[in-house]
């Protein structure tokens, strides 16, 4: 399965609670944090939901 790296590039401050929880579920708790996940449909859906706060690198 493909791996993707996700980096948080914008702040969670002032964002709706569901977006903050999505960042937590992805493992992103600080600015410029990078995590690696398998590219499952569930992860890609979470990435799509907070795409304005993160950058994705394959």
In words, the CATH class of domain 3-57 is: alpha beta
> Across the chain, what does the average pLDDT equal?
96
pLDDT band at 41, cuts 50/70/90?
A: very high
Question: Which pLDDT score, from 0 to 100, does residue 57 have?
Answer: 85
Phi and psi at residue 14, to the nearest 5°: 80, 5
Q: What is the Cα–Cα distance from 32 to 39, expressed in whole angstroms? A: 20
Q: What dihedral angle (degrees, nearest 10) is formed by the CA atoms of 17, 23, 28, 33?
A: -100
Q: What is the Cα–Cα distance from 8 to 57, expressed in whole angstroms? A: 11
Q: Is the pLDDT of residue 58 over 80?
A: no
**Mean pLDDT, range 24-49, rounded to an integer:** 97
Token pair belonging to 32: 């410029």
Q: Model pTM?
A: 0.92
**Mean pLDDT, range 29-57, rounded to an integer:** 96
């Amino acid at each position: 399965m493909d791996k993707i790296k996700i980096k948080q590039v914008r702040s969670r401050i002032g964002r709706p609670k569901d977006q903050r929880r999505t960042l937590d579920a992805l493992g992103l708790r600080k600015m410029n944090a990078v995590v690696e996940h398998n590219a499952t449909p569930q992860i890609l859906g979470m990435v799509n939901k907070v795409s304005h706060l993160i950058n994705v690198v394959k």
